[in-house]
A and B are shown apart, each in its own frame.
Chain A
Amino acid sequence: MNDTLKRLFAKLGPFLGLILVISLFSLPAEMREVFPTYGNFRFVFIQTVIVAIGALGMTLIIVSGGIDLSVGSSIALTSVVGAQLIQRGYGPVAVLAFSILSGGTIGLLNGTAIAGLRMIPFIITLGGMAILRGIAFVATRGQSVGGFPASFRDLVRMEIGDGLSFIPLATMVIVTVVGWIFLSRLAAGRRVYAIGGNELAARFSGIRVERVKLGVYVISGLTAGIAALMALGYYGSASSGDASGYELNVIAAAVVGGASLTGGRGSALGVVLGALILQMISSGIDILGIEQSYSQIIIGSVVIAAVVLDNFNTWLAKRRLTAKAH
Chain B
Amino acid sequence: MKKHLLTLACALAALATVARAAEQRTLTIGVVAKSQGNPVFQAARVGAEDAAKELGAKLKMTIKIDWRTPNEEDAQKQAQAIEQLVLTGAEGISVSCSDANKLTDAINKAVDSGVPVATFDSDAPASKRFVTYGVDDIECGKQTMEELAKIMGGKGIVAVLAGNQNAPNLQKRVQGVKEAAKKYPGITIRDTYYHKETPQDAAAKVEQVMQANPDITGWAMIGGWPLFTVNALKWQPGTVKCVAVDALPAQLAYIRSGHVPVLLAQQCYEWGHRTVELLVEKIVLKKNPPAVKEISALIPVTKDNVDAFGKNWEKWLPK
Binding site for B on A (CB under 8 A): 34, 39-40, 43, 47, 137, 142-147, 153, 157, 231, 235-237, 239-245, 283, 286-287, 289, 291-293, 296
Contact = CB atoms under 8 A, between A and B. Distances in A.
A49 to B, nearest CB: 12
Contacts of B104: 146, 236
A240 B166 contact: yes
A309 to B, nearest CB: 27
Given A39-B87, A147-B126, A239-B166, A291 B67 contact: yes
Contacts of A244: 72, 74
A287 to B, nearest CB: 6
A292 B69 contact: yes
Contact of A144 (B68, B73, B166): B166
A153 B101 CA distance: 12
A235 B105 CA distance: 7
B99 A34 contact: no
Contacts of B69: 292
Interface of B: 36, 66-77, 79-81, 83-84, 87-89, 99-102, 104-106, 126, 164-166, 168, 171, 194
29 contacts: A34-B88, A40-B87, A142-B166, A144-B75, A146-B99, A146-B100, A147-B126, A153-B105, A235-B75, A235-B105, A236-B102, A236-B104, A237-B99, A239-B99, A239-B101, A239-B166, A240-B165, A240-B166, A241-B99, A243-B76, A244-B72, A287-B84, A287-B88, A289-B66, A291-B67, A292-B36, A292-B69, A292-B77, A293-B36
Given A137-B165, A235-B105, A292-B69, A47 B99 contact: no
Given A147-B126, A235-B105, A292-B71, A283 B99 contact: no
B79 A235 contact: yes
A146 B101 contact: yes
A91 B135 CA distance: 39
A43 B83 contact: yes
B101 A236 contact: yes
Contact of B84 (A43, A240, A241): A43
Given A143-B166, A153-B105, A235 B76 contact: yes
Contacts of B73: 241
B80 to A, nearest CB: 6
Given A231-B76, A292-B36, A143 B84 contact: no
A231 B76 CA distance: 9
Contact of B102 (A144, A245, A291): A144
Nearest to A137: B165
Contacts of A293: 36, 71
Contacts of A146: 99-102, 104
Contacts of A289: 66
B100 A144 contact: yes
Nearest to A39: B87
A240 B99 CA distance: 11
Contacts of B76: 231, 235, 242-243
Contacts of B168: 144
Contacts of B102: 144, 146, 235-237, 239
A237 B76 CA distance: 10
Contacts of B100: 144, 146
B161 to A, nearest CB: 14
Nearest to A47: B80
Contacts of B126: 147
Given A144-B102, A235-B79, A236-B102, A283 B84 contact: yes
A153 B87 CA distance: 22
Given A291-B67, A292-B70, A296-B71, 4 more contacts: A34-B89, A144-B102, A146-B104, A292-B36
B1 to A, nearest CB: 46
B74 A142 contact: no
A227 B26 CA distance: 40
B99 A286 contact: no
A143 B164 CA distance: 10
Contacts of A286: 68, 81, 84, 88
Nearest to B76: A235
A242 B168 CA distance: 15
Nearest to A234: B105
A231 B102 CA distance: 10
A220 to B, nearest CB: 21
Interface centre among A142, A243, A287, A293 (most CB of B within 10 A): A142
Contacts of A245: 74
Contact of B171 (A143, A231, A235, A237): A143
Contacts of B67: 291
A245 B74 CA distance: 10
A264 to B, nearest CB: 33
Contacts of B68: 286, 292
A83 to B, nearest CB: 9
A272 B99 CA distance: 28
B87 A142 contact: no
